[in-house]
Amino acid sequence: MALVVLSGAWLQSQGAFKAPRTPWGDPELQGVWPSALLVDVPFERPASFGTRSELTDDEFAQAQQRAESDTSPAISQPPHWLERGRASRQASLVVDPADGRLPPMTPDGTRRADRWRTMYSDTYQYERPEDFTPYDRCITRGVLGSMFPNIYNTGTEILQAPGLVVIRYEMIHETRVVPLGGRPHLPGAIRSYMGDSRGGWDGDTLVVETTNFNGRTGSYGRNANGNPTTTALRLVERFTLIDANTLRYEVTVTDPGTWTRPWTVRFPLVRDSGYAMYEYACHEGNYALANMLKGAAR
């Protein structure tokens, strides 16, 4: 398998590249941007790295060997579902704080995160569908879980029209329609799993602010299936084309009900014109939730 170095230099370099334009003059970001290439990059950096954000040559060589030899990931999905990652010098998806680790939680954030972890223990007594996370119930992964790299169905498609950017996710088939041009957010009483997104251009960078969350989605790692957020959650995403086929994605997460300070994830996505976006029919034939509740009731 050919290996691509997704290095910190890619993340920082803008060079003299100028993004192409749509017929109406906006930077052209359209295409399918799978995230599976980064699935082996840790969400948080190992504590032993300190503020070092990239792998050493020896560490990178080991990552290359793992990428070539790892054919049996420790998950239960059939092998033909999986989209294998490639070696990357990036030491973590979290880039701020400088140590690549999430900031301390508030006391209430810690309590809610502990409860979600308890729900995955062997001793938890499930009594109702609401005891499972929204992702387990095929409802949503939220904005963060939809963007973070995963191991299958990782496609993110960006479409553009005058005054709009549309972001479509392959897994759990959600689509965000982002109005451009300064339209105000919805009233605070209107809230949803994916929030209310508004966008604009900062030079060639698409900046999307999302608010009005319902506080029921998570934020941690693959599928954001941990560390639940609150209704105070505010996301600022930045999409920047840094060469013809590389899109730098960045999101700053602010939720004073959960963390003591904001934190940021950043990583590159590579356009893949041959990637097929498949239907994710999560609920069709899904007997898992009913069976788990029946099993817990025995």
Sheet with 31-32: strands ordered across = 31-32, 156-161, 164-169, 175-179
Average pLDDT over residues 16-40: 94
pLDDT band at 6 (very low <50, low <70, confident <90, very high): very low
Output the pTM of the full model.
Answer: 0.89
Strand-pair category, 205-211 with 234-243: antiparallel
CATH class of 21-36+96-297: mainly beta
Domain chopping of the chain, boundaries: 21-36+96-297
In single-letter form, the type of residue at position 42 comes to P
Within the chain, strands assigned E span 31-32, 94-96, 156-161, 164-169, 175-179, 196-202, 205-211, 234-243, 246-254, 263-270
**Residue 269 vs residues 4, 110, 297: alpha-carbon distances, Å:** 12, 31, 44
**Higher-pLDDT residue of 295, 120:** 295
Mean pLDDT score of the chain: 88
Beta bridge partners of residue 161, listed in sequence order: 164
DSSP string, 20-57: -B-TTSSB---EE---GGGTTS-SS--GGGTT--B--H
Token digits for 154? 């990782």
Beta bridge partners of residue 239, listed in sequence order: 206, 249
pLDDT band at 3 (very low <50, low <70, confident <90, very high): very low
| Phi, psi torsion values for 216, nearest 5 degrees | -115, 5
| Phi, psi torsion values for 118, nearest 5 degrees | -60, -35
pLDDT tens for 215-248 read 999 999 888 888 999 999 999 999 999 999 999 9
Q: Which residues contact 101 (CB under 8 A, 6 or more apart)?
A: 44, 45, 47, 92, 94
Q: How far apart are CA 236 and CA 202, in angstroms?
A: 13
Q: How far apart are CA 110 and CA 278, in angstroms?
A: 37
pLDDT tens for 168-203 read 999 988 999 999 998 999 999 999 999 999 999 999
Closest by CA position to 240, among listed 203, 202, 201, 205: 205
Q: How far apart are CA 242 and CA 246, in angstroms?
A: 6
Q: Is the bond leading into 97 cis (omega within 30 degrees of zero)? A: yes
Q: How far apart are CA 179 and CA 166, in angstroms?
A: 9
